[in-house]
Each structure stands twice: as C-alpha cells, then as structure tokens.
C-alpha cells in the first residue's frame, strides 16, 4: 500500500474539502512542488452554516515526473495550516498540510 498516485500527463482537477474549528474557511492554496510555490484554489459556495466543510478545486496541468502535492486552508481569523507541525509530546492539534506524492508518466 502506498499513498503515491500515478497519472497520465495533461489537465486534471485536484479537489478536496477544508474545515477550521476557529472560523469559516476563506481560502485554500495548492502546491504541486512540495511547497516551493503555492496557487489559489477555487472555493465552492458555502453549504449549510459558516462552520461547514468548504469544497475546493484546482486545475493542474500534470507534467511528467514526480510531484509532491499539498493543500493548505486559511480561515477568517487568519489561521493557516502549518507546513511543518510544531512538536508536542501528545501529538495534539496535528493539522499540518498533508502531502501526497504523484508520479506523472511520460507520454
């Protein structure tokens, strides 16, 4: 079992859902290069109350090679998910940016 995903080159949609326990989600950014650069994702319209999950999507042109994808949300209070999780003995409040390796096949 592996979290590594395999794709063919070309356009694809990266999507997910974001939630914050502090305030409504106001933005999501996506990285396809392990956090070197970030781009804004498109947020879905809110569903339910302001504390509901917020859908998002990002259109990506996948180029051959290995890519490390991640997404980070920011809420109305200004809190963003950390790229690196601050250590604590109990492992509490782990909300760091999760990363998924993607291998895009050649041709």
Q: What pTM was estimated for this model as a whole?
A: 0.87
> If one looks up domain 5-86+94-104 in CATH, what number appears?
2.60.40.650
Q: Which residue has the higher pLDDT, 96 or 24?
A: 24
Query: For residue 94, which phi and psi values (nearest 5 degrees)?
Result: -80, 100
State the average pLDDT over residues 68-90.
87
Write the CB contacts of 11 (distance below 8 Å, at least 6 apart in sequence): 59, 60, 61, 62
Strand segments (E) across the chain: 5-7, 10-18, 25-31, 39-40, 42-43, 54-62, 65-75, 99-104
* Each residue's pLDDT tens digit, 18-55: 988 889 999 999 999 999 999 999 999 988 787 788 99
Strand 5-7 and strand 99-104: pairing? parallel
pLDDT at residue number 59? 98
Domain ranges within the chain, ordered by starting residue:
5-86+94-104
């Amino acid at each position: 079992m592996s979290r590594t995903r395999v794709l063919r080159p070309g356009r694809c949609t990266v999507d997910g859902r974001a939630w914050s326990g502090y305030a409504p989600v106001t933005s999501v950014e996506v990285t396809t290069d392990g956090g070197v650069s970030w781009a804004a994702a498109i947020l879905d319209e809110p569903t339910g109350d302001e504390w509901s999950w917020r859908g998002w999507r990002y259109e990506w042109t996948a180029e051959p090679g290995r890519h490390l994808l991640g997404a980070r949300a920011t809420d109305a209070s200004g809190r963003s998910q950390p790229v690196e999780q601050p250590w604590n003995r109990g492992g509490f409040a782990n909300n760091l940016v999760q990363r998924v390796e993607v291998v895009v096949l050649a041709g």
